[in-house]
């Protein structure tokens, strides 16, 4: 913006107009009003759920390789443990296909009836799972489930959490599960060996780039923000070079 860019907020991009193999306009909606912006270069960064929909609306089919890094917390009760006053994810333990970390899960605390205890008494261990790629997102919604191997891996991770809780004197019969949700969506325009160097998928017009979690080739099963930021920076460099 210091160099003259204009930031337009509260605007939902719907599709891109592609003419003669190049993006010429970005079509959006601002409230009830349609808006269109002329463009000679477009970088889509609407995230793992948003970017594929914009591309599909623009006639560019993405892969059905959505992953979401399912998150599940396993919790127990220990009077006045005070995890609610502690840092979220102060450390983690990397396992094969998932990671575990202490995490007080507000989503489950507020919306899961099994979590109706004082927050100060809850001990919660979070699982972040590297799920198989296989879902997709379109104008109708998000289509993603857990595969049988995902479920088997999740059960193994839950067993690990029980062991951690047992170490704190909480028996597995008193432990309870949180709500499974999607942590890190991405993967519908995955980088391949061929596109790793250019960061530009051949389905895209030359003046269109993607710079978000959609580029990740597979689920990391780990927090991905730094990786996505590094990729976005690299995309910017590639654009400058082009």
Ligand X SMILES: Cc1cc2nc3c(=O)[nH]c(=O)nc-3n(C[C@H](O)[C@H](O)[C@H](O)COP(=O)(O)OP(=O)(O)OC[C@H]3O[C@@H](n4cnc5c(N)ncnc54)[C@H](O)[C@@H]3O)c2cc1C
CA pair distance 224, 219, nearest whole angstrom: 9
Contacts to ligand X from residues 179-198, by CB under 6 A: 183-184
- Torsions phi, psi of 149, nearest 5? -60, -35
Q: Which own/partner pairs from 200-207 qualify as long-range (CB within 8 Å, at least 24 positions apart)?
A: 200/238, 203/60, 203/61, 204/60, 205/18, 205/21, 205/22, 205/23, 206/21, 206/22, 206/242, 207/22, 207/23, 207/39, 207/40, 207/41, 207/42
Residue 39 or 77 with smaller CB distance to ligand X: 39
Residue 47 or 97 with smaller CB distance to ligand X: 47
- Strands 98-102 and 93-95, by their bridges, are antiparallel
Residue 6 or 79 with smaller CB distance to ligand X: 6
CA pair distance 198, 239, nearest whole angstrom: 9
CB 44 within 8 A of CB 37: no
Residue 170 or 216 with smaller CB distance to ligand X: 216
Q: Which residues lie across from 17 on neighbouring strands?
A: 25
In the complex, minimum distance from the CB of residue 97 to ligand X, in angstroms, rounded to a whole number = 18
In the complex, minimum distance from the CB of residue 213 to ligand X, in angstroms, rounded to a whole number = 3
HSE-CB at 100 with a 13 A cutoff on CA atoms is 19
Please tell me the count of residues contacting ligand X according to CB under 6 A.
16
Residue 13 or 123 with smaller CB distance to ligand X: 13
Task: Read off the DSSP letter of residue 233.
Answer: H
In the complex, minimum distance from the CB of residue 142 to ligand X, in angstroms, rounded to a whole number = 12
Contacts to ligand X from residues 222-241, by CB under 6 A: 223-225, 228
Near ligand X by CB under 6 A: residue from 52, 102, 213, 221: 213
Report which of 163, 161, 175 is spatially closest to residue 126, judged by C-alpha positions.
161
Residue 77 or 182 with smaller CB distance to ligand X: 182
Residue 25 or 77 with smaller CB distance to ligand X: 25
In the complex, minimum distance from the CB of residue 226 to ligand X, in angstroms, rounded to a whole number = 6
In the complex, minimum distance from the CB of residue 82 to ligand X, in angstroms, rounded to a whole number = 21
In the complex, minimum distance from the CB of residue 13 to ligand X, in angstroms, rounded to a whole number = 4
Q: Can residue 12 be called a binding residue for ligand X (CB under 6 A)?
A: yes
Contacts to ligand X from residues 36-75, by CB under 6 A: 45-48, 50, 54
CA pair distance 227, 224, nearest whole angstrom: 5
- Contacts with ligand X, residue ranges (CB under 6 A): 12-13, 45-48, 50, 54, 183-184, 212-213, 223-225, 228
């Amino acid at each position: 913006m210091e160099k003259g860019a204009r930031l337009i907020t509260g605007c939902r991009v719907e599709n891109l107009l592609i003419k003669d193999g190049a993006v010429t306009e970005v079509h959006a909606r601002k409230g009830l009003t349609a808006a269109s912006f002329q463009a000679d270069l477009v970088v889509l960064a609407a995230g793992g759920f948003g970017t594929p929909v914009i591309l599909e609306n623009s006639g560019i089919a993405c892969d059905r390789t959505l992953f979401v890094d399912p998150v599940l917390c396993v919790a127990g009760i220990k009077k006045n443990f005070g995890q609610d006053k502690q840092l979220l994810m102060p450390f983690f333990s990397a396992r094969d296909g998932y990671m575990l970390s202490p995490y007080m899960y507000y989503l489950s605390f507020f919306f899961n009836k099994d979590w109706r205890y004082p927050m100060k008494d809850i001990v919660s261990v979070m699982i972040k799972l590297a799920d198989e790629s296989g879902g997709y997102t379109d104008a109708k919604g998000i289509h993603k489930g857990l595969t049988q191997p995902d479920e088997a891996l999740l059960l193994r991770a839950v067993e690990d959490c029980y062991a951690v809780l047992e170490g704190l004197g909480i028996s597995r019969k008193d432990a309870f599960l949180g709500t499974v949700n999607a942590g890190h969506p991405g993967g519908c325009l995955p980088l391949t060996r061929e596109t790793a160097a250019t960061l530009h998928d051949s389905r895209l017009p030359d003046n269109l780039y993607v710079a978000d979690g959609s580029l990740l080739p597979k689920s990391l099963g780990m927090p991905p923000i730094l990786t996505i930021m590094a990729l976005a920076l690299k995309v910017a460099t590639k654009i400058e070079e082009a």
